[in-house]
Amino acid sequence: MKTKHLKILVLAAAFACGGAFAQNPIVIKFSHVVANDTPKGKGAQRFKELAEKATNGRVKVELYPNSQLYKDKEELEALQLGAVQMLAPSLAKFGPLGVKEFEVFDLPFIFPDKAALYRVTEGPVGKELMARLEPKGIKGLAYWDNGFKEMTANKPLRAVSDFKGLKMRIQSSKVLDAQMRALGANPQVLAFSEVYQSLQTGVVDGVENTPSNLYTQKMHEVQKHLTVSDHGYIGYAVIVNKKFWDSLPPDVRGQLEGAMKEATKYSNQIAQEENDQAMEGIRKAGKTTIYTLTPAEKEQWRAALLPVRKEMAARLGKDTIAAIEKATAVPVAAK
């Protein structure tokens, strides 16, 4: 009889708590700039499902994709102010925040393959870089993949000289600025949400991006030529407002960490396939001529872009570069 009473009491307490949490869940506003149908968009949706399930409804994750709430620069300010709790900006967008070392991920031809990339993100360098966010009131939770970038314009881009004088949109990274200049192009920083229209109206002539971003933003509809160059990488840091994160009940934080771990695995698993499918979509749309660089052409691009590594060594930090060099096992700075 006693046990039965205890059980009822426990159930009632659990119900009361559940009810209270259901009325007043902890809300995580997760804002990002890409479409739902991308590696990041799908990763965010998976995190929402897993987080809400793991916390039994104590946490509600609200997703705001496609720059619905904020554009690139504003979303970082919003996170610091606590207007949103979670973001996953591209690693190329942390310079304005004062964490410029993330721009090592933008160095042209730095990662020979994904395995080399993971040695960096999952190793001490990845941890070290995330730790640099903390003095800014931000905690880094995970690295999410997108993929390797291709170049597009309304003219074929094969030789380095084809870039001469082209206005090329870049993310807000000084490394990408140097990269475009090394090719002879004029880089222009634009928020992701502004790229399609800027291409359509001729504000810029071309872009670099992953197939999934190009396709889901319909950029291929306003670019006649795409060159498969895989010259650079786009990936993300999933970040939270540190004060918010530290104030969570420890059990909830643990459940969210578990959900993030699973969502990261999922997002990184699907990234390549999403990009392959997007490339197929671009091909099928029939509006863009797709060209793959020959090994000789790629060598010419690589040679033109190698000085960027040396040029950026002071900005990115010699130690960071040396650590990446070790992890990727390719020479980073021209000696």
Point out which residues bind ligand LMR (CB under 6 A): 33-34, 90, 146, 171, 192, 209, 213, 234
Distance between CA 122 and CA 131 in Å, rounded?
A: 13
Of the pair 146, 229, the CB lying nearest ligand LMR is at 146
Closest CA to 170 of 155, 191, 144, 156: 191
Of the pair 234, 278, the CB lying nearest ligand LMR is at 234
DSSP for 276-290, written as a single string: HHHHHHHHHHTSSEE
Tell me the closest approach of the beta carbon of residue 209 to ligand LMR, in angstroms.
5
Distance between CA 163 and CA 181 in Å, rounded?
A: 9
Tell me the closest approach of the beta carbon of residue 5 to ligand LMR, in angstroms.
55
Name the token pair of 142: 């995970």
Name the token pair of 91: 């690693």
Of the pair 192, 245, the CB lying nearest ligand LMR is at 192
Tell me the closest approach of the beta carbon of residue 145 to ligand LMR, in angstroms.
11
Of the pair 192, 301, the CB lying nearest ligand LMR is at 192
Distance between CA 150 and CA 209 in Å, rounded?
A: 6
Of the pair 88, 321, the CB lying nearest ligand LMR is at 88
Tell me the closest approach of the beta carbon of residue 192 to ligand LMR, in angstroms.
3
Distance between CA 146 and CA 160 in Å, rounded?
A: 25
Q: Point out the residue whose Cβ comes nearest to ligand LMR.
A: 90
Tell me the closest approach of the beta carbon of residue 256 to ligand LMR, in angstroms.
22
Q: Which helix (H) or strand (E) holds 131?
A: helix 124-131
